[in-house]
Amino acid sequence: MKTLTIEDTLDILYGCTVLGTGGGGNLANGIQKVEKDFKDGKKLKLVKLDEVPDEGIVASSYFVGAISPESKTKKKDLKIVIENEALYSFNVLEEYKKANFFGIITTELGGGNTATAIDIAMNRDVPLIDADPAGRSVPGVQHSSFYIEKVPIAPLSIVNKFGDIILINQVVDDFRAEELIRSIAAESGNSVGVTSQAVTGKILKKATIPETITLAQKIGHALRNSRNNGADPVYEMIKAGEGALLFEGIVTEDTIWNDENAYTVGEFRINGTGSQFNGHSFRVWFKNENIVSWLDDKPYVTVPDLISVVLRKTGEPISNPYLKGGMEVAVLGFRSPSEWRKEKALEIFTPRAFGFDIPYVPIEKILSGVWNPKK
């Protein structure tokens, strides 16, 4: 177990945003939350998976937005009585399970979403687990090692700011759970705090991806360090995350996107610059997260591997759909955790799962000859 400083924690959030591949929630909100917690004197402890006792229970807390529009019934008579719905949902599930939870695990890596877990860890003084069920940000509930390893999502607790507190004891599957949660969110001012997958350490060790928080911290640390010592942040982050530079160039126009069932779906295009990329173009299709890329209109790196866009000069990660025409950016690629390369995972998290007739080719094969992450 180690206690993290505020710098470590901000490194984690920056790294999570890079690994968030365009999704994972709002980094600025995440920073605000953890800065306040540190200011209030709260502590963040990080434990490795093997430090979690086999019988200790760890749960995952997060916010969920609505799919369907909020009902027209006015909520003006409802007072806001709960300020931190995700924290409250953690407490509710704990009470329901009649157990003190040992710790909390983030539902994915993302600048906003991992901050939610960190905030609960700090407020409840329980450790954050150095692992997660995605090793990145992911668009759907099924894109989770919990789902692949058949860890039931229920019982789960749902809390909104009006004080509505709901437990789902049993549910058919994760898709149905998501549908129910989002329908409740639609009546909750479009957001609910949820705690689910309360599992023992024994199961957690089998069903999550280890040391992903440490990986995020490394990437975030590389970014911060480069700013301090004048190194190139893009190369420092690539080195820290054992990734590759996929592209460099200028964003052609502001990202075009639609809200499709509460997913932000769209595309952006980059015109290459510099000796390596001049005359080439790069395109990305995203559904919250960057899913498929094309180099000169030929399929290139895709999910489950990571496609991450940062500002070329500062290394600042840019989430979807906030790329603006004229921005100078670099696109970073990282290998997905091995969990995603298993046959069962590839059924649900490849371009085909998003309707593209594109086979998944691992990033290191695409870049063979070029790939030398350690260099």
CB of 35 to other proteins, least distance (A): 31
User: Should residue 166 be labelled a site residue for other proteins when binding is judged by CB under 8 A?
Assistant: yes
User: Should residue 194 be labelled a site residue for other proteins when binding is judged by CB under 8 A?
Assistant: no
Q: Which of 48, 63, 123, 167 binds other proteins (CB under 8 A)?
A: 167
CA distance 329 to 322: 12
Question: Within 10 A of 26 (CB to CB), how many other CB atoms are there?
Answer: 15
Q: Which is nearer to other proteins, 133 or 155 (CB)?
A: 155
Q: Which is nearer to other proteins, 71 or 275 (CB)?
A: 71
- For residues 88 to 117, the per-residue mask of contacts with other proteins, x marking binding by CB under 8 A and - elsewhere, is ----x-------------------------
Q: Which of 45, 51, 65, 162 binds other proteins (CB under 8 A)?
A: 162
User: Should residue 176 be labelled a site residue for other proteins when binding is judged by CB under 8 A?
Assistant: yes
Q: Which is nearer to other proteins, 163 or 274 (CB)?
A: 163
- For residues 64 to 83, the per-residue mask of contacts with other proteins, x marking binding by CB under 8 A and - elsewhere, is -------x-x---xxx-x--
Question: Within 10 A of 169 (CB to CB), how many other CB atoms are there?
Answer: 8
Q: Which of 53, 163, 274, 355 binds other proteins (CB under 8 A)?
A: 163
The 8 Å CB, 24+ separation contacts for 341-345 are 341/304, 342/148, 344/148, 345/145, 345/148, 345/304
Q: Are residues 87 and 193 in contact, defined by beta-carbon separation less than 8 angstroms?
A: yes
Strand partners of residue 310: 317, 330
Q: Which is nearer to other proteins, 67 or 358 (CB)?
A: 67
Q: Which is nearer to other proteins, 39 or 76 (CB)?
A: 76
User: Should residue 262 be labelled a site residue for other proteins when binding is judged by CB under 8 A?
Assistant: no
User: Should residue 171 be labelled a site residue for other proteins when binding is judged by CB under 8 A?
Assistant: yes
Q: Which is nearer to other proteins, 183 or 276 (CB)?
A: 183
User: Should residue 261 be labelled a site residue for other proteins when binding is judged by CB under 8 A?
Assistant: no
Cis-peptide, bond into residue 155, ω within 30° of zero? yes
In 178-327, at which residue ranges do the beta strands (DSSP E only) sit? 191-200, 209-210, 244-251, 256-260, 263-272, 281-287, 289-295, 298-302, 306-311
Site residues, other proteins (CB under 8 A): 71, 73, 77-79, 81, 92, 154, 162-172, 176, 179-180, 183-184, 186-187
